[in-house]
Structure 1
Amino acid sequence: MSQDDIAESFVGWVGTFSSLSKPVAQLADLTDGIALFEICAEIDRQWFKSIRSADIGDNWVLKLNNLKKLYKLVTRYYEEVLGYPAANLGEPNLSAIAKNEDGHELLKLCHLVLTLAVQCERNQVYIGKIMSLGEDDQRCLMVAIESVLAQLGSADPDTEPDSHDADMDLSQDDDVDPVARLQAELIKSYAEKDELEKSAHDLNVEHKHVQSKYEELLVLNEELKVRMEDLEKSMARADKSGKADFLLRSEIDRLKHDLEKADTRNQDTERANSEHAASIAGLTRQVSEYSSAKEEAARLRDQLQEYKHAAERLAKSEHVIEKYKKKLEESTDLRRQVRLLEEQLAQSQDHSRQIEDEYRRMSQLRPAVDNYRDEYAHLESRHNLTISELRQAMERLRVLEIEH
């Protein structure tokens, strides 16, 4: 596939983002880095801070500054968030992009952003955007993703996979989201289905060509048979008249030999025709099987998405239940504290009554009166403090009971 095909596919993917500050109609609209930065900000707004979004025109210096900042954050995101060795990535020529709108170098940067999207935490969203495009665009983008993943997994940053062998390693990784893996397998089946359809079409064309040659040979065979019959009749007449000619016999022998050769060619052509017909039938059957597999994969993808939503709802419900359990435990603790305070209050009241009785008995003893008065005041203060704590605890209990 050509660079123009990949560029057109990437522009189509960018067009699925509705939050861009300006539309992107061609690859050159991405040279200022603003649209790419806005896509990255949607992927992870905390990591990719805001960037100059005003129209910077043809000021290549401002473009270069934007591109440098974007590339730096993208490579750090690969290393610190995704855990990939960014040193293996081929660095695009940012100056060529800013000054000359170099499409080849710009696509390198675009590939990094695309691969970042399908590897991030919410990768199913951005893989879904790829799935919304045409099958040709999907294949182009998956080849681009595969080239970046090959660089990330290899020490040689210049290694690029063959586009015919790009099978999307995401589908082999157990850590990838199941939806992403299923979508990658579905895209792969689209590519294989197209290859089979192309092979079937080529075999159909070849079959028609062989069929045409076979029909021509049949016509030639019939003509040779007619000529041979005429010559045999002529030779029979010549034998009767005793004037058989050697040249006539030679011509008949030559025609017999040609007829045998034509029969052999007819048999070979007929055998090749049968083989081609069997190949076409096999390919047609495989195409039908892939179509069924594609429908089944799409159904499984939708079902998996439903299960995922159900799991999210279940997790939220468990969180709410845990929250109410915690509040219930707090309410139980408060009830226990209230009972303890009530017991302390009863003990304090009993002690106060004992002090009062003792005070009345000892009121006649003048030297001890002051001491008992001070102790009584102290106990009364503790009694008031206990009553205050009890009221606060009862108020907190009342608030919790209202909340529940």
Structure 2
Amino acid sequence: MSSHTRRGEMETDKVVLCESLAIWLQTFNTAAPCTTVEELTTGAAISQALHQIDPAWFSESWLGRIKEDVGNNWRLKMNNLKKILQMMVDYYNEVLSQEIQEFPLPDLVKVAQHSDPVELGRLLQFTLGCAVKCERKQEYIQVIMTLEESVQHVVMTALQELMSKENMAQFGAEPPGDVESQLKKALEDLADLVAEKEELAQRCQELDVQVTVLQEERNSLLAENDVLTDRANQLDSFDDPSTPSGRKHSQLQIQLETLQEENFRLEAAKDDYRIHCEELEKQLIEVQHRNDELTSLAEESRALKDELDILRSCSDRAVKLEASVETYRRKLEDLGDLRRQVKLLEEKNMTYMHNTVSLEEELRKANAARAQLETYKRQVQELHRKLSEESRRADNLAYEKKKFEEKHDALMREKERIIIERDSLKETNEELRCNQAQQDQLLQAGMAGMPAGSPTHDYLAAEILPVEYREKFIRLQHENKMLHVQQEGSENDKISELQTLLEVAHRTRSELDTENRLSRERVTELQQQVEDLQKALQGQGAKTDDSHLKRKLDAHMVQLNEAQDEIMKKKELLEDLQPDNTQTSLRLEELMAALKKKDDDMRAMEERYKMYLEKARNVIRALDPKLNPATAEIQALKNQLTDRDKRILSLERECEQAKLREYEEKLIVTAWYNKVRTCRQNRHVVFLTLYFLLKIKDRNVPFTNVTYTEILFQLKHSCCMSSAPFRV
């Protein structure tokens, strides 16, 4: 409760301070109103008062920037107050050459937005300081002395508070004991002066009463004197001492003279007392000022007591640190070693810098080589694409050439076969001619006596064959015609379809051969690239990829820069390190902290360096083909590719053989069909059948049931067409 009460009293004092300073500000008779707190928050009255205090600094141009018609806009108020406060701070610093850092600056937001009297009082307190420290300060001090006693006391307290903050450093140099003794002495003098003042005031009151009484007596005596004078004038002359009136007059005159002398003496004493009272009042004012100063000094002494306690603790700590100072002095002797270490670190840094420069040069060369390699790769890819296209074209042309060669070979074989058949047919024709000539001779010899066109000749030819053979011959002839028509259509369609399928299969096979060959070439190129990479990795050794090297290089550059900065800091610390007894302990503490920090940084750098080395070793192990298990996987994949290529080749050969067998069978059957159609006699059919059977046997062509059935059907059909008996 006591703290809340004290805080409330302080707030009340601040409000009273604001009101008293507002009353003091009204003595400037500014054009802007300044009777209430809200009117003062605009800043117009304060700026006009400052202009009256020092027109040279707070000029007309500056006063024109202060807006008066701000209304309730707290932002404009804030802008005005900010300009005023900044100008007063500059006035203290530049004109008065005084620092006000110890005094808290007012919160202008509270003043402008909430009209806070506490913060406004601080601003007015700054204005009061400007007034009492300017060139016309005597005028403003006299104006302050003419104010009411309560207002005057508050204004003087505010002024002393402001001056105490400025004189803190001056009084801080005095010993605390002298301040306390001076404060006690000043308080005693103040008490004596107050008691003396009270006594003098009481004496003055008594003298005033006596003077009043004497004046009344004097007045009464003067009145009585006048009356007596009138009576004396009426009765007789006062100059005659023999008369009672003369005696009375002389006595009264003597008494009057004594009273006048006493009056003069009392007036002189009164004047002396008045002068002494004025002097005592002046002394009282001075004592009050001194009392206020001593009060501030008492506060300062209390603060200094606290500082003294802190300094005592610091002195105790300094005593404790003296032992460590000795050890630090001994450690200072080891600074030569540190300097040598710094030189070694500088040499290492230079070597690192040279290595860094060389690595950067290699990195630039590698980047240039990489760019050229990328262009070469693109060119190689383009050439590979063109090569693939040309290979496909060459394969297509080779396929067409092969097809034409096969056609040519087939035509040549067909030509040879036709020549052989032609020769055999010639021989057969000769034999048939001989047989026909023999039959004609026999018929002519047997039928010499009969006419050539008689009906008996026809009957004889018809009766040579039996009836069942004639019926069977007619029926087979009809069936042969029907089957021949059907067979021609179906066989032609089947042959065209088979030829189309054969061409598609050959084209597909050619494309697959091309793709397979390109794949083998690609695999070979990849194997060559893998071998080149392995050789490059073996040649590079501990070199990693460029990106990793670049990152590592950047990290090392940062570390080198940090180490260089640390070395420069150590140099500065070593150069600035001097045996100053007053600052030895602080410098030693800073030096030990810096050394500890640098040792920690060096250890951290060594750990990072070891970590980077371990990472580099891991990368080298990962890229080394002798230690990399991925090589076995690549070899296994190569073996699988080789097995697959062999399997593909064997399947292609089997497919080609099967297609060739099928194609040869179809060609044989087709040729046999064509030959059978051209033949009209049984002997020719039998001869051709035997010929093709021998060809099939010689070629080891598989003679399927379908082919055998078709041949038998064609033999039967040919026999029917040639009117010859058919026997299997």
TM-score, shorter chain, exceeding 0.5: no
- With CA pairs under 8 Å and 6+ residues apart, which has the higher RCO, 1 or 2? 1
More helix by share: 2
Please, what TM-score do these two structures have when normalized by structure 2? 0.22
Please, what TM-score do these two structures have when normalized by structure 1? 0.39
